[in-house]
Amino acid sequence: MQARRDALNRRHYVGDGAEMNSFFRELKQRKVYRVALGYAVVAWLVIQVSATIVPVYHAPEWILPIFITAVALGFPVALVLAWAFEVRGGVIEKTPEPTGPLSTANKRRVWLLAALGLIISAFAIGSYWFWYPWRKASTVSESSTAAMPAIREKSIAVLPFENLSRDPDNAYFAEGIKDEILTKLATVHDLKVISRTSTAKYQSKPDNLGTVAQELGVTAVLEGAVQKAGDKVRVNVQLIDARANTHLWAKSYDRELKDVFSVESDIAQDVTDTLQARLSPSESHVLTAAPTRDPEAYDLFLKAEYEVHQGESTRTAQPFARAVALYQQAFTRDPKFALAYARLAYARLFVHFSVRPLTPAELGEVKSRIDGALALEPDLPEAHLALGIYRYWGYRDYGPAIAEFHRALELQPSNARARVLLGFVFRRQGEWEKSLAEVTRAQELDPLDVNTVTQQGLSYVSLRRWNEAQRLVTRAIAIDPHFTLAAWLLARICENNKGDIQCARRAVENVPPSFDPLEVRYNAAAFIGEHSYVDLLERNFAQALQAWDKPPDDNAGGRVRQLEARVAIQVIAGRAGAARSEAEELRGLLESKLKEQPEDVWSMTGLSWAYACLGRNVDALEIARRASDVLPVEKDALSGPRVLVGRAEIAAHTGQAQEAIEILRRLASMPAGSVYSVARLKIDPVWDPIRNRPDFQQLLSTPEQVGPNK
């Protein structure tokens, strides 16, 4: 042992300048390099195995990072032990230390070695924690879903599926397969699933997948392609960790057309397994269930869905009419096809709210379809959604509507439409902050739905929170520069916030002259349309009237709208006598319509202008008051002020100035920014009959209520 110490002393006897070289030679002599390399290899293997096993047993996500930290901190300990001990003849022995002055130098080297090991460990730990959210997918095999890594945020976007069929008309089939997979995933409470409205903005396989994921707020993306040929179908899909642009898995499914339901179920199941989503028994059932066992009925259903999506985009009646016919064919083939009943009801209700009102008898038919769907499947989310819409859009029956939307969300938590409609109902009830909160939550599921963004902007306009309204409308136009409602709302912000007519004129350049904000046709501006009303604000009455020389279409509804606009323009311009014949025609049309639908507020408002033009002031004011009684602010906090301002307009033009002023004072104290503001009072000629009254001038210096900020 003494001889070994003497040898060590000779090795250590070097000059100060060569001490570092001596240190590295000593590391090699004591086999520290070999231990360091061996420890690193074994640690890497252990970590890879752990990364695979830990998710399988659904361990908490913090287990793996803590384990890796402990392994890294063991590295400097291994280095020090390798320095201090050696294996001789199968026995671990302490390495002899030099004596004399070199003993102190050797202790310094031990501390240096420990510090070096700690630095390497700290770098490894820091690198892991920095890259951890992006690195987990790298350990996954594309060919296996049995050992998928956990993903910290369980969120996914299902991008449009590419149609690989020779027939381009089969695009409906690829879209339908994608939508049904998305719908199944949306029922899983443990997943955040982005709505089709937002994912439809992208290509099937975008180049900038990381940007797409960031815009949609997801960590995973499902891409796919569908090929349909005769009675065969092939679906190719791949699940991608969008942050690292790394495949989690890729699969192909070849089935007969009659087994297409199993493809949708298998893909949805594979996705939930990969994303480590916890499934309840009911959710597992939804993933495997088929809406119908009749492939021809299902094909008709997918065609109908495609038409509905076209109709939602164009807001025209024709696609919905085609969809309704296809839905009817589908459940004629399969009378137990509950989903077809529910979706038919939705299609007709959309027409009722956005295209033309349904008669009470037609609404009754819609209700029977919803009842049929719920009788077949009491827990069908789409049926509860349709019933909520029926209560809301059909009758403004808010309590039952809220209950149905909540039930739809219980069954399908990623249903963005149910969430946003819930927010809209709260808005009608005057629960503005609750409405804003719900719509914001809906935007998390559907961030690129331009209508939702615009509607949120409309809420801020009503609250006179102009900066927030401007921000949202600007965002909506960035999403879709051709979205008419956003351009219309931007013009309204220009007019009502600052009274900037030129700003409004620039905005309406993107509003088609035929645009009909049907749901807001309760006052003169809505009848006349934004293009003509900008001319009216500049008191260019001839130009405003010229725009209505022809009706927007050839049907009776188009003629009514033309007459409403022309009569209102002439009355506001002070030339009612020139419009008497048109007012008489309008009176006949609207009185007939009110016999069929006695509580049609749109018709009441239009009729009030016809009566005012004909000099029937008492009748005009009576029908305007009746309209505000049918739809008061207490019943509808969004549309009620629109009806109320329409009543004030009629009062101003029928000699009831005091009533008009009282209504305007009331509007100043409520969320009514879309129809009332001091800036608008100053420029709108509709108020010219009462403009010079002292009480009206007093309104111009009275501040309006601004909605609460949080």
**Is pLDDT above 50 for 13?**
no
Higher-confidence residue of 7 and 282: namely: 282
Residues 321-373: tens digit of each pLDDT:
999 999 999 999 999 999 999 999 999 999 988 878 888 899 999 999 999 99
Q: 245: exposed, middle or buried (C-beta count within 10 Å: 0-12, 13-18, 19+)?
A: middle
What tokens were used for 615? 């000099």
Give me the mean pLDDT over the 447-455 stretch.
93
Signed CA dihedral, 24, 27, 31, 37: sign only: negative
Whether 332 and 293 have beta carbons less than 8 Å apart is answered as no
Q: What number of CA atoms fall less than 13 Å from residue 175's CA on the CB side?
A: 21
Model pLDDT, residue 125: 58
Domains of the chain: 2-139 (no CATH), 155-288 (3.40.50.10070), 295-462 (1.25.40.10), 512-699 (1.25.40)
Give me the mean pLDDT over the 544-558 stretch.
80
Give me the mean pLDDT over the 427-444 stretch.
95
**Is pLDDT above 70 for 138?**
no
What tokens were used for 128? 């892991």
Model pLDDT, residue 14: 44
Model pLDDT, residue 91: 55
What tokens were used for 634? 């207490």
Residues 496-548: tens digit of each pLDDT:
999 999 999 999 887 776 666 555 678 898 889 888 999 999 999 999 999 99
**Is pLDDT above 90 for 11?**
no
**Is pLDDT above 90 for 425?**
yes
3 state SS of 473:
helix
Whether 78 and 39 have beta carbons less than 8 Å apart is answered as yes
Give me the mean pLDDT over the 215-237 stretch.
90
Amino acid symbol at 477: I
**Is pLDDT above 70 for 223?**
yes
CA distances from 379 to 345, 385, 458, 517 (A): 16, 11, 33, 35
Residue with tokens 């290899």: 41
Share of the chain above pLDDT 70, in %: 77
3 state SS of 322:
helix
Binned at pLDDT 50, 70 and 90, residue 166 comes out as: confident
Residues 626-685: tens digit of each pLDDT:
999 999 999 999 999 999 999 999 999 999 999 999 999 999 999 999 999 999 999 999
Higher-confidence residue of 419 and 206: namely: 419
Residues 126-136: tens digit of each pLDDT:
655 444 433 33
Higher-confidence residue of 143 and 472: namely: 472
- Please list, residue by residue across 83-95, b when 16 or more beta carbons sit within 10 angstroms of its beta carbon and e when fewer do: beeeeeeeeeeeb
**Is pLDDT above 60 for 442?**
yes
**Is pLDDT above 50 for 385?**
yes
Give me the mean pLDDT over the 475-484 stretch.
90
**Is pLDDT above 80 for 4?**
no
**Is pLDDT above 90 for 401?**
yes
Model pLDDT, residue 55: 45
Residue whose C-alpha is closest to residue 466's, from 429, 495, 442? 495
Q: Which helix (H) or strand (E) holds 608?
A: helix 601-613
**Is pLDDT above 90 for 124?**
no
Model pLDDT, residue 457: 96
Residues 265-304: tens digit of each pLDDT:
999 999 999 999 999 999 999 999 999 999 999 999 999 9
Higher-confidence residue of 496 and 80: namely: 496
Determine how many CB atoms are found less than 10 A away from the CB of residue 588.
11
**Is pLDDT above 70 for 244?**
yes
Binned at pLDDT 50, 70 and 90, residue 260 comes out as: confident
Model pLDDT, residue 62: 52
Model pLDDT, residue 205: 83
Signed CA dihedral, 269, 271, 274, 278: sign only: negative
Model pLDDT, residue 203: 83
Out of 107-111, 177-181, 554-558, 625-629, the most confident range is 625-629
Residues 82-123: tens digit of each pLDDT:
666 666 655 566 666 555 444 555 556 656 666 766 676 666
**Is pLDDT above 50 for 8?**
no
The overall average pLDDT reported for the chain is 84
CA end-to-end span of the chain, whole Å?
Answer: 79
